[in-house]
Structures are given as structure tokens and as C-alpha cells.
Chains A and B, each alone.
Chain A
Amino acid sequence: MTTAPDLPDGAAAWDDALLAAACVAVDPAGLGGIRVRAAAGPVRDAWIAILRASIPVEAAIRNIPLHVDDGRLFGGLDLAASLAQGRPVVQPGLLAQVDGGYALLSMAERIDPAVSTRIALAIDGDAQGSTSRFAAIAFDEGDADEAVGATLQERLGLAIDLRACSVGTITDTVATDRESLDAARGRLPRVEVPESLVEALCAAAVALGIDSLRMPFFAVRVARVLAALDGRDEAEAGDASTAARLVFTMRARRLPAAQQPPEEADEQEMPDDAADDGGDEAEPPQDPASDDAPQPDVPPDDAPLPDPPDDREESDDAVPAQEALDEVVLEAALSAMPPDLLRELARGAASHRSQGGRGSGAGAVQRGGTRGAPSGIRRGRPRARERLSLIETLRAAAPWQRIRREERPERADRGARIHVRADDLHVMRYKQRHPTTTVFVVDASGSSALNRLAEAKGAVELLLADCYVRRDSVAVLAFRGKAAQLLLPPTRSLVRARRSLAGLPGGGGTPVANALDATRELVVGLRRRGDTVLVVLLTDGRANVARDGSGGRPQADADAMESARSLRVLAVDVLLIDTSPKPYPQAAALADAMGALYRPLPSAGASAMSAIVNRAARGQSGLRAA
């Protein structure tokens, strides 16, 4: 989303951040870690300084660099030292070194998904040959299209957002003194969490659409830590509420049915004044709850439970008490929710971010030269994620053996039979096919009649079926009303694609300029990952919403042309399918401005459309010349 997120009260967020720091300092292994959404800056520095002051003296916070190689992360042979000493020197991995401490992952959203998954498994304590127990601190600077790997997010018990905090809101800079933290650590095993709180936390997770059972479990643990911090042996409702805030808030996937915020009504209003197409204004925007976001399986808490689990050993009057408690806990999680997330959820669009962004890369991320088909060998030391070619190394060393032995006779005594030097090292090179991503930019405005929208959806699904055999990915960007929305981040998942397409409503103005700008952003991002990109633009080209969201054709057209030209600079392959029943010169002009291949398609079904795109994808390089 392009608008700056408006955020909840910074001071409250900071208070929660302090509590979270104390929790993760008291029970690192049990909570797995924390995800901190914050840009680099003084606030984040202050937070980490507080954490540093809170952890036990013997525990360390170790920085895990972004492009760490497996050898460093999980341990392995230290090649340089081995060669120098003539015997194998094993270096312990960083994760083994942080045993009992904290692994700090800054820019966690940029970590290779394969690596973040392995860190996640290491947090579980299941990593190969590693018994290290540690917590991870993931600094998440991601925006809409990047997020921390879902597998890793699953293992991080706490999630906080520091974006609302400014230097001014940092009032308190000391979390809790060391003595109380130590006391809490000692008390922790004794603290009981009453059944009613466990139930309330489970119910709150369900109501917020949090499916994973790890989250209520983490919340129970957090409640226990909070009680221990407070010097109590039993957790109370307040602890559960705070736990819900610290664990659930950032992960909510939907709002409880009875909790739609009031401002939601404004959000749903389409800027219909901008759509001057008149007659073909097709359908009112869909009801936010009507798309496929599943309704809560549990009725909202203020409605009476139709079938309270009867195996609870509680008297009748205890049931309302439980409900009240459920509500208090749920309310706590909602209260801390950033308004942007709240609105997004209210629209029924489960946040892509909270699902782990782009499917944590699903294999589309550019990898180091360690995989793929081998393509030759070159001289050099194995750098991060490269593999030594042993045969070539030994072959290079072979002719020099006699001379080297004479030079360094003492090494033979230590059992070294061959002398290999750094100059001999050769590494394998691999060639990797770059994944192709097809970006569909779908005009869902009122002027693109709704039946064309259905065709576009069909074509995307057909193409996805192909992609899933070819291992390519597809993204869908839809535009209507005032803005473009990334409906489907690059994915190969049929399940997700179908779900998000089914939820695409139609109607409203045609903001071509904004759509092209969003496309440009997406393409740049994909290119950075090393993808080959093909853009398929399905529109009638009749722009009627200018970049600033105001109506009026002339300005809208001018903006659209300008955006089209800026897209041309990227030299990306674009296929513009004109979907209007009577092709209109504007679309052709637009195609020309962005250097796209233009195909009018006044009447065709989904399969014809998918055939055209398939042809374009195959002859991709020829596309621009056309």
C-alpha cells in the first residue's frame, strides 16, 4: 500500500516493546524469538540496547549476517586454516555459538528462504547435529512485497511493531532491573496458567483467523512469563490480554465478525464520481465479508455460544465469566492493531504480509552459485555458498608436490601427505535457470465489462496450471477505483491464486496511470530477485482516473501515457490485450508508448487468451521488436 501507515499510539507501542523485550529475555528458548517491525534507526537501537541490558550476563546477542553461508551458519571445515595447518580444522557454526543466547537477524525479510527455514528448524532444536538452543530476533524492515519467511515467522513467539515509536515516545529506557528478571527466570517453572486463560487465548486466536496452533501456545507461555515478571505464581486475565497483544496482534488474518471498525464504511465507498463511463457501471462493490475469507468458526464472543463445550467442569454462571474473559483478551489484541492492518482486514483482504509475503520465495529467489546444472570450474577460493572442486584442486596441486615437500619437510612429519595451497583451489560453477514470472495487470474497472474480467481470471488460472508444470510463477495486479492492488504476489500456488482471484470485485474507475506505476514497481522488485518478467496487461485503455485520484479523462490520459513511457524505460516485455468490444485507439497508443505488443481481443474466451500469452511467453525476446 502506498499510503503512509497511520499507527497506533507510539507510547503504548513502546510500552509493549519493553514488555516483549523482558519476555524474550526471561524465556528465550521457550518463546523462540521475536519479530520486530521497524526501520533501522534510534528507536530500534534503543530497543536492542534495552534487550542487551536485560539478558543474562553470560548470554550473547550475535549478529547473523544476511548472506551467511551454510558453513558459517551450521559449522564446517575451515578451509584456510586446514590448508595452513595441514590437518582438518573444523569451525563451529554461528548457531552453535549462540547457544543459550540470541541470534540477531537484521533485514530478516531479505534472508534467503532456504536459510531462514533452516534457522527456523534450528530454533526448534532439530537442526542437524546441533543441540544449540537460542532465540532469534528478526528485524523486519519489509514492505508490502517482502516479508520474513513464513516458516521462520511461525517459530517466533512474539511480534511487535515499532514503527509508531519515535525518539520522543521513548520515555522509559530501562525495561526491568536485572534482579527482577533473574527472579522471574527462577519463578517461571512454578507459574500456573489457569484453564480459563488457556481457553480465552485459544478462542482469541480463532476469532482473529490465526490457524496455527503454535500461536496460542506461545501466548500461554508469554502469559506465564508476564506473571513471573510480576512476581506471581498464577497468571491473571491481565497477563493473557497482554500476551494476546504481543503474540496475536501482528498476525491477525481477519476481524471477528462483530468487530468491523466504524471507518470501514468510508473505505468501501468507491470513487464512483470518477467513473464517467456511465452505462456500463456494472455492479456495486462486493460486500467485504462475502468473498472467500472464511467466517470465524466460533461465533463472536458477544453472541451466546450455541453449544458450549459441556465437558467443562464449570457451573452455569461460570460460562458468562468465560465469555467476558474471552472478550477482554480479544479486545486487547485488537486494541494494539495498527489502523492500516485493521482496515486491510476489514476489507476482507487477508494481509499478504501476514501470510509470509511472497510465499517465502517458493524457489524463485536468486541463489548463490551452488545449485543447478554444473557449468565449468574456475580457479579461486570457495566464497559464500560455492563449492570446492576437489578433483581440480588436487590436480592443480599434484605437479608441485615434490618441490613443496622439499620446501616444507616438517609437514610430512605431521602426517600431511599432500601439500595443497590456496592458489590451487578451484570451485565449481553452476548455471541456474532464472525463473520466469508472468505479471497479469487486470483492469477490474466498471468500463471493463465484468465478463471480460471473468475471462481474465480464467486465463490466469489456465496459465497457472501450465506454470505449475514449468515451475514458473504468476502474479496478479488488479486496478479499479483509485488504485492498483497486488492481488496475488508472485506464486506458483494454484490454491492461493484461485482464492485471490475469486475475491476480485469489479466496478469503479480506471486508474491506468496508477496501475502502470504499480506494475513498474513490481517489475523492478522481481528483476532484483533475478526473475525474467513478462507483463500481460488486460485493459480497454480508457483511463479516467488521474494519478492523484481525481476524475477527468484528459488528465488521466496524460498521466497514463507518462507512466507508460516510464515503463518503457525498463525494457520489459509487455503484452497489452485490448479487451474492449470495439477496439479504441487509446489502447493502441498506450501500447506504443510502453513498447508493448498490442493485441485487440474483442471476443475470446479464457483459453484463447491463455494461448496468446503462451505464445508471447515462448517468443519473449521477439515481443519488443513487434
Chain B
Amino acid sequence: MTAAFPFSAIVGQEEMKLAILLAAIEPRLGGVLVFGDRGTGKSTAVRGLAALLPKLRVVAGCPYGCDPAKPCEDCLASPQRFRNGKAVRTELVTAPVVDLPLGATEDRVVGALDLERALSQGIKAFEPGLLARANRGFLYVDEVNLLEDHLVDLLIDVAASGENVVEREGLSVRHPSRFVLVGSGNPEEGELRPQLLDRFGLSVEVTTPKALPERIEVVRRRDAYEREPAAFIERWKKEDERTRRKLTAARENLDAVEVDDEALGAAARLCMQLGTDGLRGELTLMRAARALAAWDGKTSVGPEQMRRIAAPALRHRLRRDPLDDSGSSSRVDRAVAEVLPA
């Protein structure tokens, strides 16, 4: 397979790129939902991300790619991998960005009894699924609004708990599965249930670029990439490298970023103003603002970060009036203008 289109070479779509980067900085954000037109680079952005993410150190041979500092039960129980509280061998791997294809069965997602070994050798073994592969990385679901409901429920549940518990076919397995869920879809195909919407941390609306020069630039870059992928990637390598360094720095600084009472107060007022249910909105807003501050190289969250991140953090949490046509984004913008006047 040829290398993915470089993340940095994506024209425009700044909000989407920022949201994905913030989710990479702060995995507890709860994932990103990207809704919008086809052919706007949703999949491209997620696939380009894989090349951008810093490499991970993993316990060699662990099916879940677990961290040597925080080994999973499976590793601790395996003398080939873990001895005297130390990993036998570790290796550096690229962070996984796993695609969850539409139509995947529950078996393939959560893992199942290993059919081959069960049938041929009579051994009860667990065959890890996509959730195992996605551990410590990204799980991407294109057309998430067309995914079976029970699978979406399951994904969100695992994403929130960080652990995949399999109790089926006589198996009882639990393994770490911490991943950033990225869902994308086209609202014309059907919507996501409201109760699922607000489980996503950030929500981004992408539209196809309207300006002709921007569209031409997209086509031109795509064409250049398809013709000579290696040369094209080489040209954007520096830019990607810069983003990667910034991402790594932001991750390291994240814990040092202060969120003062003023910022918390502003977050609470915003959510009250918009009437979002529950505390998830405030929590996400705060975490996202903190990640954004880290990305900006700041040591504390200021009103600027709040203003920039309010729409993606809150727009999918508003109560919807089916007869009200004014978009959620504009409602958030109005509230921001009131609570946090520039």
C-alpha cells in the first residue's frame, strides 16, 4: 500500500484538522465526530494522521500493543513477554489508526473465539479484534451513522471505559482498549441518535470548499500526490515533521496547563446559556480548551481558547428543535459572543 496523503497537505478544513490534533493531544477528550459532504478529505485527514503520530513503545509480542510501563494482564501472565516486572523486549511501532469497515461483525470488532485453533486443535483461544488493534491509537469509522446501532453503543462504551470485556462463547477476556474514536458521516444519509451524539467529545462540520481557487488547489495537490506519491510526501515531510514536534510538545505540556476559576466559570456559563444536558459539555469544553492551550504553547487557558473551541465542543449537545432551521453552530456563536465578549 502506498503511503498516505500527508496531513499537512490537506487544503483548508482547519477546524477538522485542529479537532483531530486536539484529540491526539488529549485522548480523554472522547473522540471526534466529523459530519459533512463527501469528498472533503475526512478519510484523508484521519489516514494522514497515522504518519504524523509519534511512535509508540510497546511490549514486543503483545497483541494489544501495551505500554511497557503499564503492562496489561495478558503480558504480566506471559513469561515470554514479561519477566521480573520488566518487559523482555520492547519495540517502537507506528501508532495504530484502525479502520472499522461498515458491515463489520461484532466478532471482528470485539474479537472472538479463534475458529481455526478451536476447530483444528481444540484449543480455546481468543482472537483479538479491531478493538485490540486500535489500543493506544485511533479507531476510524467512516459512515458512522450507517453503522449498526449496537456496534456504535459498544464502541462508545469501550472508548469511555478504555477496556474491552468479552464474555461470549465460553470466553472471558478483558484487555485494554484505549483509543480515540473518530466517526465521520454525511447527514443526508441519516442522523446519529442524540444520545450517541453527545458521547463524542468534539464535533466538526465540514463543507466542501466554496472558493474556486481552493478547490483547484485541492485537485492539484491530489493529482500531484497520485502521480508521484514519494516525491509529494517528501515535499511535505518538513511540514509534517513540524506538526509532529508541536504535537509531541503539546502532549508533554498538557498537564502543566492551568485552568483557572475564571475559565471554569466561563465554561459553566456557556453551557447554562445553551442549556446543554449534564456535565459532559463543561468537562469536554475544559479539556479541549486545555489541549488547545497546550497546542498554542500557552501555560494557562484563556478566553481565546474557549472562544475557539466552544463550537466544536458544544454544538452537538444542544437540544434540537426539528422545526428550527438555524444551525447549532450559530447558536453556540451567539452564546459565546454573550458570555465571552471579545
Binding site for B on A (CB under 8 A): 30, 70, 77, 82-83, 86-88, 112-115, 117-118, 121, 124-128, 131, 150-151, 154, 189, 193, 195, 198-199, 201-203, 205-206, 211-217, 220-221, 297-298, 309, 311, 355, 359-360, 362-363, 370-371, 387-388, 390-391, 394, 415-418, 420, 458, 461-462, 464-465, 468-469, 471, 473, 491-496, 498
Task: Please give, as numbers and ranges, the residues of chain B lying within 8 Å of A124 by CB-CB distance.
Answer: 43
B83 at the interface (CB under 8 A from A): no
By the criterion CB–CB under 8 Å, are B189 and A211 in contact?
no
Q: A202-B212, A498-B325 are in contact. List 12 more A-B contacts (CB 8 A).
A: A77-B116, A117-B142, A131-B1, A211-B37, A215-B39, A216-B219, A309-B212, A363-B146, A363-B190, A461-B322, A471-B193, A493-B188
30 contacts between A and B (CB under 8 A): A82-B116, A87-B120, A88-B120, A113-B146, A118-B101, A128-B101, A154-B39, A189-B227, A201-B219, A202-B216, A206-B215, A211-B208, A212-B37, A213-B41, A213-B219, A214-B38, A217-B219, A220-B223, A355-B188, A371-B105, A390-B118, A390-B119, A390-B169, A394-B118, A394-B122, A415-B121, A417-B120, A469-B194, A493-B190, A496-B188
Task: Please give, as numbers and ranges, the residues of chain A lying within 8 Å of B115 by CB-CB distance.
Answer: 77, 88, 388, 390
Q: How long is the Cα–Cα vector from A309 to B2 in the complex, in angstroms?
A: 34
Task: Please give, as numbers and ranges, the residues of chain A lying within 8 Å of B216 by CB-CB distance.
Answer: 198-199, 202
By the criterion CB–CB under 8 Å, are B102 and A298 in contact?
no
The distance from the CB of A80 to the nearest CB of chain B, in whole angstroms, is 12
By the criterion CB–CB under 8 Å, are B118 and A211 in contact?
no
By the criterion CB–CB under 8 Å, are A491 and B226 in contact?
no
B191 at the interface (CB under 8 A from A): yes
Binding site for A on B (CB under 8 A): 1-2, 37-41, 43, 47, 99, 101-103, 105, 107, 113, 115-116, 118-122, 142-143, 145-146, 148-150, 169-170, 186-191, 193-194, 208-210, 212-213, 215-216, 218-220, 222-223, 226-227, 320, 322-323, 325
Task: Please give, as numbers and ranges, the residues of chain A lying within 8 Å of B209 by CB-CB distance.
Answer: 213
CB < 8 Å: which of A127, A150, A202, A220 contacts B189? A150
Q: How long is the Cα–Cα vector from A496 to B194 in the complex, in angstroms?
A: 17
Q: How long is the Cα–Cα vector from A415 to B40 in the complex, in angstroms?
A: 53
Known contacts A193-B223, A220-B219, A370-B105; decide if A492 and B190 are in contact (CB<8 Å): yes
Q: How long is the Cα–Cα vector from A355 to B37 in the complex, in angstroms?
A: 11
CB < 8 Å: which of B37, B120, B191, B218 contacts A415? B120
Task: Please give, as numbers and ranges, the residues of chain B lying within 8 Å of A30 by CB-CB distance.
Answer: 226
The distance from the CB of A391 to the nearest CB of chain B, in whole angstroms, is 6
The distance from the CB of B319 to the nearest CB of chain A, in whole angstroms, is 11
The distance from the CB of A86 to the nearest CB of chain B, in whole angstroms, is 6
The distance from the CB of B96 to the nearest CB of chain A, in whole angstroms, is 12
CB < 8 Å: which of A87, A394, A492 contacts B191? A492
By the criterion CB–CB under 8 Å, are B187 and A495 in contact?
yes
By the criterion CB–CB under 8 Å, are B191 and A493 in contact?
yes
By the criterion CB–CB under 8 Å, are A417 and B99 in contact?
no
The 5 closest A-B pairs by CB, nearest first: A212-B39, A114-B103, A465-B322, A88-B116, A362-B190
The distance from the CB of B294 to the nearest CB of chain A, in whole angstroms, is 31
Q: How long is the Cα–Cα vector from A150 to B113 in the complex, in angstroms?
A: 35
Residue in A closest to B325 when the chains form the complex, CB atoms: A498
The distance from the CB of A403 to the nearest CB of chain B, in whole angstroms, is 16
Known contacts A118-B101, A128-B99, A221-B223; decide if A494 and B208 are in contact (CB<8 Å): no
Q: How long is the Cα–Cα vector from A311 to B216 in the complex, in angstroms?
A: 13
CB < 8 Å: which of B186, B208, B323 contacts A461? B323
Q: How long is the Cα–Cα vector from A468 to B321 in the complex, in angstroms?
A: 12
By the criterion CB–CB under 8 Å, are B47 and A126 in contact?
yes
Task: Please give, as numbers and ranges, the residues of chain B lying within 8 Å of A387 by CB-CB distance.
Answer: 105, 107
Main secondary structure of the interface of A (DSSP, over half): helix
The distance from the CB of B112 to the nearest CB of chain A, in whole angstroms, is 8
The distance from the CB of A421 to the nearest CB of chain B, in whole angstroms, is 11
Q: How long is the Cα–Cα vector from A125 to B4 in the complex, in angstroms?
A: 10
Task: Please give, as numbers and ranges, the residues of chain B lying within 8 Å of A415 by CB-CB distance.
Answer: 120-121
By the criterion CB–CB under 8 Å, are A298 and B212 in contact?
yes
Q: How long is the Cα–Cα vector from A307 to B66 in the complex, in angstroms?
A: 55
Q: How long is the Cα–Cα vector from A458 to B323 in the complex, in angstroms?
A: 8
By the criterion CB–CB under 8 Å, are B226 and A221 in contact?
yes
Task: Please give, as numbers and ranges, the residues of chain B lying within 8 Å of A86 by CB-CB distance.
Answer: 120
Residue in A closest to B103 when the chains form the complex, CB atoms: A114
Q: How long is the Cα–Cα vector from A82 to B118 in the complex, in angstroms?
A: 12
Residue in B closest to A418 when the chains form the complex, CB atoms: B122
Residue in A closest to B113 when the chains form the complex, CB atoms: A390
Known contacts A493-B187, A495-B188; decide if A371 and B148 are in contact (CB<8 Å): yes
The distance from the CB of A357 to the nearest CB of chain B, in whole angstroms, is 11
CB < 8 Å: which of B101, B145, B190 contacts A121? B101
By the criterion CB–CB under 8 Å, are B323 and A213 in contact?
no
The distance from the CB of A406 to the nearest CB of chain B, in whole angstroms, is 17
Known contacts A220-B223, A309-B212; decide if A70 and B103 are in contact (CB<8 Å): yes
The distance from the CB of B334 to the nearest CB of chain A, in whole angstroms, is 21
CB < 8 Å: which of B102, B122, B145, B322 contacts A462? B322
Task: Please give, as numbers and ranges, the residues of chain A lying within 8 Å of B116 by CB-CB distance.
Answer: 77, 82, 88
CB < 8 Å: which of B2, B189, B208 contacts A359? B189
By the criterion CB–CB under 8 Å, are B323 and A462 in contact?
yes
Q: How long is the Cα–Cα vector from A117 to B118 in the complex, in angstroms?
A: 31
Q: How long is the Cα–Cα vector from A126 to B189 in the complex, in angstroms?
A: 22
Residue in A closest to B151 when the chains form the complex, CB atoms: A371
Residue in B closest to A188 when the chains form the complex, CB atoms: B227
Task: Please give, as numbers and ranges, the residues of chain B lying within 8 Å of A465 by CB-CB distance.
Answer: 320, 322
By the criterion CB–CB under 8 Å, are A203 and B208 in contact?
no
By the criterion CB–CB under 8 Å, are A464 and B322 in contact?
yes
Q: How long is the Cα–Cα vector from A420 to B122 in the complex, in angstroms?
A: 10
Task: Please give, as numbers and ranges, the residues of chain B lying within 8 Å of A114 by CB-CB distance.
Answer: 102-103, 146
Task: Please give, as numbers and ranges, the residues of chain A lying within 8 Å of B47 by CB-CB distance.
Answer: 126
The distance from the CB of B179 to the nearest CB of chain A, in whole angstroms, is 16
The distance from the CB of B224 to the nearest CB of chain A, in whole angstroms, is 10
Residue in A closest to B320 when the chains form the complex, CB atoms: A465
Known contacts A126-B99, A221-B226, A461-B322; decide if A202 and B215 are in contact (CB<8 Å): yes
The distance from the CB of A226 to the nearest CB of chain B, in whole angstroms, is 15
Residue in B closest to A294 when the chains form the complex, CB atoms: B210
The distance from the CB of A440 to the nearest CB of chain B, in whole angstroms, is 15
Known contacts A118-B101, A471-B193; decide if A151 and B169 are in contact (CB<8 Å): no
By the criterion CB–CB under 8 Å, are A217 and B222 in contact?
yes
The distance from the CB of B44 to the nearest CB of chain A, in whole angstroms, is 10
The distance from the CB of B132 to the nearest CB of chain A, in whole angstroms, is 14
Task: Please give, as numbers and ranges, the residues of chain A lying within 8 Å of B322 by CB-CB distance.
Answer: 461-462, 464-465, 494
By the criterion CB–CB under 8 Å, are B191 and A468 in contact?
yes
Task: Please give, as numbers and ranges, the residues of chain A lying within 8 Å of B212 by CB-CB distance.
Answer: 199, 202-203, 206, 297-298, 309
Task: Please give, as numbers and ranges, the residues of chain B lying within 8 Å of A150 by CB-CB distance.
Answer: 38, 186, 189
Task: Please give, as numbers and ranges, the residues of chain A lying within 8 Å of B105 by CB-CB distance.
Answer: 70, 370-371, 387
Residue in A closest to B36 when the chains form the complex, CB atoms: A211
Q: How long is the Cα–Cα vector from A121 to B210 in the complex, in angstroms?
A: 26
CB < 8 Å: which of A117, A203, A458 contacts B102? A117
Q: How long is the Cα–Cα vector from A86 to B325 in the complex, in angstroms?
A: 62
Task: Please give, as numbers and ranges, the residues of chain A lying within 8 Å of B2 by CB-CB distance.
Answer: 125
Q: How long is the Cα–Cα vector from A450 to B11 in the complex, in angstroms?
A: 46
Task: Please give, as numbers and ranges, the residues of chain A lying within 8 Å of B119 by CB-CB distance.
Answer: 82-83, 88, 390, 418, 420
Task: Please give, as numbers and ranges, the residues of chain B lying within 8 Å of A121 by CB-CB distance.
Answer: 99, 101, 142
Task: Please give, as numbers and ranges, the residues of chain A lying within 8 Å of B37 by CB-CB distance.
Answer: 211-212
By the criterion CB–CB under 8 Å, are A127 and B222 in contact?
no
Known contacts A151-B143, A493-B187; decide if A213 and B103 are in contact (CB<8 Å): no
The distance from the CB of B164 to the nearest CB of chain A, in whole angstroms, is 18
Q: How long is the Cα–Cα vector from A297 to B207 in the complex, in angstroms?
A: 13
By the criterion CB–CB under 8 Å, are B103 and A118 in contact?
yes
Task: Please give, as numbers and ranges, the residues of chain A lying within 8 Å of B325 by CB-CB distance.
Answer: 498
Task: Please give, as numbers and ranges, the residues of chain B lying within 8 Å of A498 by CB-CB distance.
Answer: 325
The distance from the CB of B225 to the nearest CB of chain A, in whole angstroms, is 10
Known contacts A154-B38, A309-B212; decide if A493 and B219 are in contact (CB<8 Å): no
Known contacts A82-B120, A212-B39, A309-B212; decide if A362 and B146 are in contact (CB<8 Å): yes
Task: Please give, as numbers and ranges, the residues of chain B lying within 8 Å of A309 by CB-CB distance.
Answer: 212-213
